[in-house]
Amino acid sequence: MPQYRHIAFLSLALLAAGPVCAAAPYPERSIRLIVPFPPGGGTDALSRILAPKLTEYLGQQVLVDNRGGAQGTVGTALGAKAAPDGYTMLFAHSGALTINPHMYSRLSYDTLKNFAAVSRGTEMPYILVLHPSVPAKSMQELAQLARSRPGELTFASTSAGPQLMGELFRLTTKTKMVHVPYKGAGPALTDLLGGHVGIMFTVPTSVGPHIRSGKLRALGVSGPKREESLPDIPTMTEAGFSDFGQAREWYGFVVPSGTPAEAVTKLNAALVRALNDADVHKRLHPLAQKAVPSTPAEFGDYIRSQYALWGKVVKATGAKVD
């Protein structure tokens, strides 16, 4: 009998311990999505379109955390330093990840070492817009105006990509314009609409409605063809600036290096599902954002190729932030 009692006791103990020892399925709590720009721009718009879908698919709330500053470097550095436990995801911005490392002499993150790719998100063209007080109706006319008024025209930028587009315009047209950096699209757009700055290279997300209403004038979009949501605006190649033709801004999602593979796989599956959702596509269309979901490996390769490409562009323009 004692032996049977001992076996029975062990069996009960193992049954009781089973649920305690079993690993809880991921995710078991909310996930923070760091967006390295303030509200009011393309990054914020996409994150708030996707967050409810990700919450639904993952079964836990995905919380958007806007951390703007220094062309996306503040929030990106915060993402790099986060615990690699699957509960912090970074909104990957093309400028912050692949351009800033070549423009800043000191950064507290290493794009190629500190992050693990999850999925590509969206891509979109750059667009050149003016306040109506700037007397130019084409990119060629803007170049002529800038030559006749050296150092008088101002152009805004909200991140490294638009800044480089402005630098390329100055370089190719041999003109002098004053660069005015902003922390995000919201503050820059406010000043542009108010006429405090005259020119801005940006993405269509935040300026599309103001172009349609006539509050801003658009001169060209990058990319191989015209943008469907703004079909009357010529491509920059059509406007005579082929060097700008293939430039695109893109967004994606990364996590800190060392994040468990299970978390990366589940986050990727949720993102791909959300980015393929018909309702998401409908909401992205007027923002001129095209969904381009991918595998983690594909996005990792893309980051590395873009890092090398923009490094060459920065070197050619000589653009620096500090």
pLDDT digits (tens, 9 = 90+) for 172-227: 899 999 999 887 788 899 999 999 999 999 988 889 889 999 999 999 999 888 98
Does residue 94 have a pLDDT over 80? yes
In the DSSP assignment, the letter for residue 235 is B
Phi, psi torsion values for 153, nearest 5 degrees:
-75, 145
For the chain, the straight-line distance linking the first and the last C-alpha, in angstroms and rounded, comes to: 81
Q: Angle formed by the axes of helices 160-173 and 296-317, to 10°?
A: 40
The Cα 59–Cα 45 span in angstroms is 22
Question: What is the mean predicted confidence (pLDDT) over 109-115?
Answer: 97
State which H helix or E strand residue 88 sits in. Answer: strand 88-93
Cis peptide before 231 (omega within 30 of 0): no
Does residue 3 carry a pLDDT above 60? no
Task: Give the pLDDT of residue 22.
Answer: 56
Contact 44, 252 (CB under 8 A): no
Domain ranges in the chain are 31-124+249-317, 127-244
How many Cβ atoms are within 10 Å of 185's Cβ, its own excluded?
29
Residue type, position 189, single letter:
L
Q: Does domain 31-124+249-317 have CATH number 3.40.50.150?
A: no
Return the half-sphere exposure (C-beta side, CA atoms, 13 A cut-off) of residue 201.
28
Between 243 and 314, the more confident residue is 314
Mean pLDDT in residue range 133-158? 95
Same fold across 31-124+249-317 and 127-244? yes
Query: In this structure, which CATH number among 3.40.190.10, 3.30.70.20, 3.40.190.290, 3.30.360.10 belongs to the domain 127-244?
Result: 3.40.190.10
Whether 139 and 240 have beta carbons less than 8 Å apart is answered as: yes
Give how far the C-alpha of residue 260 lies from the chain's centroid of Cα atoms, to the nearest Å. 24
In this structure, are residues 155 and 179 in contact, taking their beta carbons and an 8 Å threshold?
A: yes
Q: What is the pLDDT of residue 49?
A: 97
The pLDDT, as a whole number, for residue 102 is: 93
**Alpha carbon 114 to chain centroid distance?**
17
Q: How far is CA 36 from CA 24, 33, 95, in A?
A: 31, 10, 11
Contact 99, 164 (CB under 8 A): yes
| Whether the Cβ atoms of residue 218 and residue 211 lie closer than 8 Å to each other | yes
Give pLDDT tens digits for 18-45.
444 456 799 999 999 999 998 878 899 9
Residue 17: pLDDT over 50: no
Q: Which pair of structure tokens corresponds to residue 108?
A: 């507290």
Tell me what pLDDT residue 286 has.
Answer: 86
Answer yes or no: are the C-beta atoms of 42 and 203 closer than 8 Å: yes
Residue range 280-313, pLDDT digits in tens: 999 999 888 999 999 999 999 999 999 998 898 8
